[in-house]
Structure 1
């Protein structure tokens, strides 16, 4: 009667504190440059080493520029953070994929594509979008800096066990609907706090119809409805995705691993603390209009009128629309935009670039739109070039940038100016997230591509 989450969690329990947290063993710690410096400083202050260095993988991604990565970083703060990670990895003997290393990229893109993320694992990183890795059947969640130090020093973490929620999406997805649309739809219905305290398992026909890249996108956004993480039971598609990946098991070890992975599913009679059901046919291409990912709607819909908002939320709702320069009841179709961003740990994988290319092929970028196309890793960059997608982009007037988190968050040079509208495939549309005063409209690569070639918010189904 166990859920998949329970099976993985329970098999990693070291001890349980009475009326307190669980001491959980961690299989993999990913470290980037922003949330790790104080953790390493803590180890030095205590005079201790990393307990299991072979379980830790480090790479910079948030602060890396997306051009001229072979030259010194110009921004002093970014340079310090990236250099500090290099030094910490060297001092503590950790695997480090630095800038220009062919294995570098956004940590949540690199982990799965290298086969470092494997079903049945517990995975943590000082980054909220660690939930991404749950797409491969892992219990993966973001942690704070003090917890990063805890894992570095003991390979364990103290955590209270979350409740479980199953979100099922049944039926077949409509044309033009991607994993990003499914995620934004779910968040708009569950709300940004509706899954707080839960670990979500995604199930249903529509979920299993998604590619592995799509599932990574869906699990990536679990945190945006307050969930501790998201997980999808590994099926044949997940196993095929991992076959021959660099760090995946080989030979007999592979056969043993696959046999174990096939056991990783919730029991038929498993009871979840909460069960939620959605229907695929209700989902159309989505776009956000506000300042949190839950403020989303179908692209053909209008922004909700004030009367439909619960009274307690009306002041913040009005404030959000004011920041965005939008009005209740308004349609976004035909709204002029200034920037388009394709990338991030949400939509920086090869499939996202294929989807974008499929729509812009034979068309031209709108003259007054600035577009940033940023692969999630050097491996994705290599795939783009191998498949000739770079030529499609070039002919349409788009240029590829170098891998990194880029315009997902204002921690590097790729900032959206105040008052400008950006259709973004990233994960957050908070005030100032893409730059002070920037106005972010979250959408799928397909919706972003449609906006990039028309210069306005456009239903991509009209261009397919």
Structure 2
């Protein structure tokens, strides 16, 4: 029988099926960060349980670490330094690989794992972070777990799981100029709801997906968790193998016939199918309290929950274009890779952030991205335009009790969530592509990146 890619990976990792129907699934990689890593490792040590295979476990400082240039263990979050020092001690004691605060390979989990070839096609990878699904862009089955599940995976090498249903989301046709993977994801969630993928492992497919570069595929898969999917992934292809070639933890070559089998067979059936015309999509921007509250940038705010309208302070029927903003932010595991920064820099070059903008920041997704961007002069382009250039980390993708934007600010952000308080108390967040962030920062109001691109081309 023809099989889906998900079924192939599941069967290759299913150790046993229990009477209840749940399965024991082998876990190839576990990734920890400082917000939860110390707790999981210390709990295991207290129980006398060693890490079963330390070579398969990695940890990084990314969530609470300060992103100001010249940082150390100190953080703006009260008590935040303890998360760093305790994770460091616990990681060393457990014998696992740690990418420390100022390690050359430090960065956001879901950025550095692909950069280093830790995630590979066909592997299972888990981390105590909901955006672990990002790494499915490489053809892996990757998903977020809790700290106790991380302990179990490290101690036993398996996790007990209920098998999810399968879904294929096919983007037909070609994206128009100025439309990105971020817009594809927001359009999907806006059309089918934030719970549309619940209980499913989602494969993204179609001409528009195949045309995306690997980093754009990561953006699309990153947002699968905002769709409530267990995981999002894309079948590996020649682009995938070329991206991974030569990376530290990747194999020397991908000539093994197994790699070529990692795709859904012709005629394979999915529990749910969604088809979206990519050519019909426009740049998207969120307006409410969920990624499902997203709309084409040139449209009018739709009717929605009263609380969402109250939070964002926009009435139904209001135009999104021209809405004044206070803060512009580019960063996060969604849109802070080198390709994101290149596109953003190309758009902002020769322009300045509007005088009405109170803060504008660019936070690279990893130390490697930061170095590469600086080697290309992208940091200079951003700083000359009025953006602050930072060290890598999660930063203000979320509010961890430390750094914050000015209270009451309206933010245009390349991040993945616009929940109330996501970027700090009283902060109104609009999520969009890096291009839309740039166009809006230059205009001082929410603006269409296609217009700025046309202006720049003249």
TM-score above 0.5, yes or no: yes
Partners of 2:255 and 2:303 in 1: how far apart? 56
Partners of 2:35 and 2:288 in 1: how far apart? 27
Offset, 1:53? 0.4
Partners of 1:337 and 1:325 in 2: how far apart? 12
299, 303, 317: which one pairs with 1:329? 317
Offset, 1:170? 0.3
Write out per-residue CA displacement over residues 29-88 of structure 1, whole angstroms, 9 at most, x where no aligned residue: 000012233322321232121001000010011101111313633533211111111011
> CA contact under 8 A between 1:406 and 1:412: conserved in structure 2?
no
User: Aligned pair 1:193/2:195, yes or no?
Assistant: yes
Write out per-residue CA displacement over residues 273-332 of structure 1, whole angstroms, 9 at most, x where no aligned residue: 0111000122100000000011000000101135xxxxxxxxxx1111101111111111
> CA contact under 8 A between 1:105 and 1:403: conserved in structure 2?
yes
For the residue of structure 2 that corresponds to 1:345, the secondary structure is coil
Write out per-residue CA displacement over residues 176-234 of structure 1, whole angstroms, 9 at most, x where no aligned residue: 00110111111111110011000000000011111111000000000101100101000
Partners of 2:157 and 2:409 in 1: how far apart? 44
Partners of 1:203 and 1:274 in 2: how far apart? 13
User: Aligned pair 1:182/2:194, yes or no?
Assistant: no
Offset, 1:412? 5.9
Partners of 1:136 and 1:71 in 2: how far apart? 32
Superposed, which structure 2 residues align to 1:110-125 within 5 Å?
110-125=112-127
Partners of 1:152 and 1:123 in 2: how far apart? 12
Aligned length: 450
For the residue of structure 2 that corresponds to 1:344, the secondary structure is coil
For the residue of structure 2 that corresponds to 1:332, the secondary structure is coil
286, 295, 298: which one pairs with 2:296? 298
Partner of 1:276: 274
User: Aligned pair 1:452/2:441, yes or no?
Assistant: yes
Partner of 1:37: 38
Partner of 1:226: 228
Partner of 1:314: none
Partners of 1:284 and 1:208 in 2: how far apart? 19
> CA contact under 8 A between 2:78 and 2:402: conserved in structure 1?
no
Partner of 1:168: 170
Contiguous gaps of at least 5 residues in structure 2: 454-458
Partner of 2:19: 18
Write out per-residue CA displacement over residues 360-418 of structure 1, whole angstroms, 9 at most, x where no aligned residue: 00111112321110000000001101111122112222231010001100126432233
Partner of 1:3: 4
Partners of 2:402 and 2:352 in 1: how far apart? 26
1:345–1:412 distance in 2 versus 1, CA, 3 Å: farther
Partner of 2:343: 355
User: Aligned pair 1:47/2:36, yes or no?
Assistant: no
Partners of 1:72 and 1:305 in 2: how far apart? 45
Partners of 1:439 and 1:12 in 2: how far apart? 43
User: Aligned pair 1:260/2:258, yes or no?
Assistant: yes
> CA contact under 8 A between 1:172 and 1:205: conserved in structure 2?
yes
Partner of 2:404: 415
Q: TM-score, normalised by structure 2?
A: 0.96
For the residue of structure 2 that corresponds to 1:158, the secondary structure is strand
1:389–1:412 distance in 2 versus 1, CA, 3 Å: farther
> CA contact under 8 A between 2:73 and 2:101: conserved in structure 1?
no
Offset, 1:260? 2.1
Partners of 2:118 and 2:291 in 1: how far apart? 29
Partners of 1:262 and 1:391 in 2: how far apart? 42
Offset, 1:124? 0.2
> CA contact under 8 A between 2:41 and 2:91: conserved in structure 1?
no
1:383–1:391 distance in 2 versus 1, CA, 3 Å: same
Q: Which deviates the most, 65-74 or 156-165?
A: 65-74
1:12–1:149 distance in 2 versus 1, CA, 3 Å: same
> CA contact under 8 A between 2:137 and 2:218: conserved in structure 1?
yes
Partner of 2:419: 430
Partners of 2:402 and 2:451 in 1: how far apart? 34
For the residue of structure 1 that corresponds to 2:187, the secondary structure is helix
Partner of 1:312: none
Partners of 2:75 and 2:431 in 1: how far apart? 29
Offset, 1:235? 0.8
